[in-house]
A and B are shown apart, each in its own frame.
Chain A
């Protein structure tokens, strides 16, 4: 029988994958992919807890809202990516440094 821990493990795998993608990729679109994974792991946790610990469906509603927020985030984020590409002609994350002060590295 599948236990709660199995779902939490899958959720952990998703989260770690998302985190690794975020910190190891330099392309902004790839970073957005990682964020999607992290949001999905959170939604999976909500639904799993909703089945195993509670009798109501609040977890499902939360998962729905997470999906909604993730879609809105993807829309705005990708719009920013496109605009950024139009301006800078690159999607390298280090190019987004117009507001940075000159620090000693």
Chain B
């Protein structure tokens, strides 16, 4: 019963925050709603018995990513550029022209249905065990064992990936005083006010 309540409250938090995130025009508020979504997802992880993943979700996202996003929004002014038209049809062709979008979506739909048709065994004959047990085994030790046995290569490679990300992010974001020569104002004026 408690898991039902937790599931319902978390999922309603997620859906409400999602709707508000799409709705709001203030990017700072959008980040705060993202916080709600992420905490709700952590609640869903709890109902799935994944306590370590839930805590990781809160730790990495709330403590790290959201603060970084808030920093970024503040440093870049937080202006939100709304699209030219607020109607749904106006929103559609933003990724190209109207025709490319229509052709692309039609192709995607056809391919999607074909895929579903060919792989329907996977979808409809998937063996789902509806667990009724309310007891959850401790996950963290098993995750640790998996990390040093089955997934040890991924574990070590992820450290290298993170090193790469750290070096890359530090190089890119390092404060520089001078602007690159090729982007001096005369070159820069070509773009700008004609977009919005």
Contact = CB atoms under 8 A, between A and B. Distances in A.
Contacts of A4: 128
Interface in A1-45: 1-4, 6-7, 10, 13-14, 17, 20-21, 23-27, 29-30, 32-33, 36-37, 40, 43-44
Contact of B27 (A30, A53, A87): A30
Interface residues of B, number: 81
Interface residues of A, number: 65
A26 to B, nearest CB: 4
Given A40-B41, A47-B53, A85-B75, A25 B80 contact: yes
B128 A64 contact: no
Interface in A42-80: 43-44, 47-48, 50-53, 56-58, 60-61, 63-65, 67-76, 78-80
Contact of B72 (A36, A82, A92): A82
Interface in B160-187: 161-162, 165-166, 168-170, 172-173, 176, 179-180, 183
Where chain B touches its partner, the secondary structure class is helix
Q: Which of A2, A13, A56, A60 has most B Cβ within 10 Å? A: A60
Interface of A: 1-4, 6-7, 10, 13-14, 17, 20-21, 23-27, 29-30, 32-33, 36-37, 40, 43-44, 47-48, 50-53, 56-58, 60-61, 63-65, 67-76, 78-83, 85-88, 91-92, 94-95, 97
Given A14-B41, A63-B50, A94-B191, 13 more contacts: A13-B14, A20-B22, A27-B76, A27-B81, A37-B37, A40-B37, A47-B53, A61-B147, A61-B151, A67-B60, A71-B65, A75-B68, A79-B172
5 contacts: A47-B48, A57-B142, A67-B61, A88-B191, A95-B191
